[in-house]
Amino acid sequence: MKKILKYLFIAIGFLVVNNASAQSKSTTEEIMVNGFKVLYKPTSNQIVSARLFVKGGTANYLKEQEGIESIALDLVTSGGSANYSKDELNRQLDKMGSSIESNAGLDAANISMSCIQRNFNATWAIFQDVINAPLMPDEEFQKIKESAISNVKQSISNPDAYLTEMAMTDAFANLNYDKKPSGSEESINKLTLDLVKKHYEKIISKKQCFLVVIGKIDRQDLIEKVKKLTEKMPEGNFVAPKTKLLSIAQSTIKVEDRKLATNYIRGIMNAPAYGTAETYAMQIAFGILADRLFDEIRTKRSLSYAPSASYSTNINPYTNIYVSTTDPKQAVSVMIDELKKLKKEGFSEKEIKDQKSGYVTSYYMGLETNSAQTQGLGMAEVKGNWKNFNSFIENINKVNPKDVNIVFNKYIQGIRWSYLGDLSKVNSEIFLQKL
């Protein structure tokens, strides 16, 4: 059934590929405006998307201040600005159908705006004021803190969210990814408005930030707007965090007992650095692995509703496999058997060809929105080079079966397992066997 849906998805995807492909041919240009980087891509559609990226992510703060960047940007975008009170800001955006939002993650944060082309000037005026002159009132700060703590408590009660935190904390102990972008109850409670304001002032600089803009807008007009946006922005002294590759040579298991209807299991493994030739081979490998796990665990044995496998191309990359099941012993045995089989027998040419087709379709479908493109270009730049986003399909198509087999065998050596559920069903011998 999954294969039928997959090919149906590909067939539907090709109907939109022509439009997205034509749109993708529009050239992305890198412009330096008074020492500030701007990625600009003109389009013919009527939606404008702009994102101010802040590099660094969890490297920007200490463990005891985790959550500070998320709260700072949330406060900046929701608390009003020098020329727009909170109520007036929201009224103006609602009237235009525009939005200004923020997001903070492991490697970067961003403040984004989206609007229709005719409202670009008015929306940009708010966007600029929010970035340069946020009010950051104490009353709003307290509301955001309370909401953040509530979200943290909810994530603890959510087995999947909690398992992800378990796995990351175990695999990246004492490293930047050990910090939670959303924070912990303890860290959020310690944050003060003064600390949050100082953090925001520290991260908004020409070296640490850059802008991605896609839409039907005039190039020179954009340059003039960026000059005003950055005229008082400090140069800064940001140094980008270096890639740290995991080195998991043998399997381990971290367990936590919780009475649940099912058991939640995630395994983290090594991965190649983003932007290298190995990146694209590993993406194909884990796409195929995901399909195999679905067939073997769900379709053939009904052991889980949604087993998965993925390759996270972060600055500090990792691969992982996941399953929720009432029969951990059998499900994990199947997962490990599939890993061993792939290491021994390799990937078939047909599997690789089919996987490439799927990537081509999903990539071009992702280009359908300007917002998705600003996010994709920006994160590629955060991780090293925005051009990697535009050359993705070219690099995927260069991959051959030998590349896929070599990279899989090179990096898949051991698994850092995290297990949340009934401890009586944990069989260490199965989890800890050699791959």
* Locus of tokens 């992982």: 320
Number of other residues whose CB lies within 10 A of the CB of residue 234 = 13
Helix (H) or strand (E) segment spanning residue 416 = strand 416-421
CB contact at 8 A, 328 and 348: no
Q: What is the CATH number of domain 252-431?
A: 3.30.830.10
How many of the other CB atoms lie within 10 Å of CB of 369? 16
CA distance 71 to 23: 35
**What's the CA gap between 269 and 271, in Å, rounded?**
7
Q: Does 34-230 match 252-431 in CATH topology?
A: yes
The pLDDT value given to residue 173: 94
One DSSP character per residue, 291-330 reads HHHIIIIIITT---S--EEEEE-SSS-EEEEEEEES-HHH
- Reading the block at residue 430, the tokens are 């199965």
What average pLDDT values come out for the chain (435 residues) when binned by 10 residues?
45 43 68 97 95 98 98 97 96 97 98 98 98 97 98 95 96 96 97 98 98 97 98 95 95 96 97 96 97 97 95 97 97 97 95 90 85 96 96 94 97 98 95 96
Question: What pLDDT, on a 0 to 100 scale, did the predictor assign at position 361?
Answer: 84
The DSSP element (H or E) to which 102 belongs, if any, is: strand 99-104
Backbone torsions φ then ψ of 70, nearest 5 degrees: -60, -45
Tell me how far apart the alpha carbons of residues 156 and 151 are, in angstroms, rounded to a whole number.
9
- Residue ranges of the domains in the chain? 34-230, 252-431
Q: What pLDDT, on the 0 to 100 scale, is given for residue 117?
A: 97
Distances (CA, A) of 147 to 188, 222, 318: 10, 36, 30
Q: How many CB atoms lie within 10 A of CB 104?
A: 22
At residue 172, the 3 state secondary structure works out as coil
What are φ and ψ of residue 23, in 5° steps? -65, -35
CA distances from 382 to 51, 106, 251, 326 (A): 13, 11, 31, 40
Helix (H) or strand (E) segment spanning residue 188:
helix 185-190
Q: CA separation (Å) from 298 to 243, 291, 306, 330, 338?
A: 35, 10, 7, 12, 14
- Which of 202, 233, 166, 246 shows the shortest CA–CA distance to 61? 202
Q: Give the CATH class of 34-230.
A: alpha beta
Q: How far apart are CA 65 and CA 69, in angstroms?
A: 9
Give, in order, the Cα–Cα distances in Å from 208 to each of 144, 248, 426: 25, 32, 45
> Cα dihedral sign for 248, 249, 251, 252?
negative
CB atoms near residue 187 (< 10 Å):
22
Neighbour-count burial of 5, counting CB atoms closer than 10 A to its CB (0-12 exposed, 13-18 middle, 19+ buried): exposed
Question: What pTM, to 2 d.p., does this model score?
Answer: 0.92
Q: Are 11 and 357 in contact (CB under 8 A)?
A: no
Closest CA to 115 of 138, 95, 131: 95
Strands 99-104 and 263-269: unpaired
Give pLDDT, residue 362: 83
